[in-house]
C-alpha cells in the first residue's frame, strides 16, 4: 500500500456493468469498446481501462481479451470471503484468479445497502482477494443522510479505515468514491468535495502505514 502524489499514479477508468449484458452481448461490447478507444488514440499506458462484467460473462471477456491481445483490464463485481465449501452462490478468489481477473470490486454501495454487507465482511473479502493476487477496488461512500448527520468525508474515511485493518503495506489497492448511494437522495457532490475526500483518504492510508 503506497500513498503517492496523484501525478505519480496511473489513472484508472473502471466500468461496472452491474447486472447487465449476457455473455454474447459482453463480447460485442468489449470489441466495440476496444475499437473505439483505439480509433480515439487512447493511451493505455497513461490511463488504464478496466471492465467489470457479471460473473457469467467473465470467461467470454477473458478469452476475447487474451486472444485479441486487447489492452483492457477486467475484474469481478464481488468476491466471497470464503475459500471453498458449502456456500451456495458464492464465488471464491481462487476462481477469479484462474480466470485471470486483475481486479475485484468490494464494498460497493449496493452490496452494503441491498445485502447489508458490513465493514467486517468488506475487510474479509479484501483479505480473500489479496490472497489470490486480485487488486481490490475498495468502494467507500456516503448518503445524503450521512452528510447531514456526520459531515463530509466522515463515513467514507471510517469505511476505509475498517477496510484497511488487515491490509499489509505491500498490498496493491484501489479506493473508489461513490457519492450518495441508494439509501438516500442522489445529489451531485460539490466540485471540491472529491478532492477533499481524496486528501482525507490519503491521510487515512498514511496513518495506517505509520502504525506498522
User: Annotated catalytic sites, by residue?
Assistant: 108, 178
Residues 6+ apart with CB under 8 A from 71: 34, 44, 49
3-state secondary structure string across 93-123 = HHHHHHCCCCEEEECCHHHHHHCCCCHHHHH
Q: Are 77 and 108 in contact (CB under 8 A)?
A: yes
- 17-21 long-range Cβ contacts below 8 angstroms, 24+ apart: 17/51, 17/52, 17/53, 17/54, 17/57, 17/77, 18/54, 18/77, 18/110, 19/54, 20/54, 21/53, 21/54, 21/57
In terms of Cβ atoms closer than 10 Å to its own Cβ (0-12, 13-18, 19+), residue 73 is buried
How many Cβ atoms from other residues are within 10 Å of residue 17's Cβ? Answer: 16
What number of other Cβ atoms are within 10 A of residue 202's Cβ? 16
Cell, residue 191:
466540485
Amino acid at each position: 500500500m503506497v500513498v503517492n502524489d496523484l501525478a505519480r499514479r496511473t489513472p484508472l477508468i473502471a466500468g461496472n456493468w452491474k447486472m447487465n449484458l449476457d455473455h454474447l452481448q459482453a463480447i460485442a461490447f468489449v470489441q466495440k469498446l476496444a475499437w473505439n478507444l483505439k480509433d480515439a488514440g487512447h493511451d493505455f499506458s497513461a490511463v488504464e481501462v478496466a471492465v467489470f462484467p457479471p460473473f457469467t460473462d467473465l470467461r467470454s471477456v477473458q478469452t476475447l481479451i487474451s486472444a485479441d491481445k486487447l489492452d483492457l483490464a477486467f475484474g469481478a463485481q464481488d468476491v466471497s470471503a470464503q475459500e471453498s465449501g458449502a456456500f451456495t452462490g458464492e464465488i471464491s478468489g481462487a476462481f477469479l484468479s484462474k480466470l485471470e481477473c486483475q481486479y475485484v470490486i468490494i464494498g460497493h454501495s449496493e452490496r452494503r445497502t441491498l445485502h447489508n454487507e458490513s465493514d467486517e465482511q468488506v475487510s474479509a473479502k479484501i483479505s480473500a482477494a489479496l490472497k489470490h493476487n486480485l487488486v481490490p477496488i475498495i468502494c467507500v461512500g456516503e448518503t445524503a443522510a450521512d452528510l447531514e448527520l456526520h459531515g463530509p468525508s466522515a463515513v467514507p474515511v471510517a469505511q476505509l479505515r475498517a477496510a484497511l485493518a488487515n491490509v499489509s503495506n505491500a498490498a496493491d489497492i484501489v479506493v473508489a468514491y461513490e457519492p450518495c448511494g441508494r439509501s438516500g437522495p442522489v445529489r451531485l457532490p460539490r466540485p471540491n468535495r472529491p478532492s477533499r475526500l481524496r486528501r482525507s483518504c490519503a491521510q487515512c492510508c498514511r496513518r495506517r502505514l505509520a502504525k506498522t
